[in-house]
Amino acid sequence: MTLSILNPVHILSVVIWVGGMFFAYMALRPAAISTLEPPLRLQLWRQTFKHFFPWVWAAIITLLVTGFWMMFDALQKIKEGTYGICEGCGEDIPEERLCAIPWTRFCAKCAQEYEQMYGSYMESSGFENYSDLRFNREDITEE
């Protein structure tokens, strides 16, 4: 249950930090350059950062806290011997799934049921076996 709260908070912190910096550089900066004289631009940036940086620091602290919490939760599961056991059905999560998604808490079947129940379900891409993928690029080789 804790992870279902930590993950969205962790992601929201990233969105606030990175999204805010993206907005400032890609939207606010060009608008300020094209409409304001240099002294007014400086005032705009001072006020913007005065209001934005408390959010950035809160986001950074939240990222660190939630990240460490999730990491220590995983370490605790390893210590208890419950890492790799599905929280839905109690069965072992296949090693291939754990290698692909080490933070997963569910086997594929339970994850699909969970996603359908909570609205984040996406239909399969059609690739059930990713070894069928072929690359036609010179910089990627198959071994």
Tokens 């011997």 locate to 81
Task: Phi first, then psi: give them for residue 123, nearest 5 degrees.
Answer: -60, 155
pLDDT of amino acid 15: 94
pLDDT of amino acid 51: 95
Strand partners, 85: 92
Tell me the pLDDT of the chain averaged across its residues: 84
pLDDT of amino acid 124: 54
Alpha helices in the chain (DSSP H): 2-23, 29-35, 38-80, 95-100, 108-118
pLDDT in tens, 54-76: 999 999 999 999 989 888 888 88
Task: Mark residue 37 as left, alpha or beta (left: phi above 0; alpha: psi -120 to 50; beta: remaining).
Answer: beta
User: Whole-model pTM above 0.75?
Assistant: no
pLDDT of amino acid 137: 60
CA torsion, points 1, 107, 9, 21, in degrees to nearest 10? 180
pLDDT of amino acid 74: 82
Give me the residues of the chain with pLDDT under 50, please: 1
d(CA 83, CA 10): 21
Domain spans, the chain: 1-81, 84-124
pLDDT of amino acid 92: 94
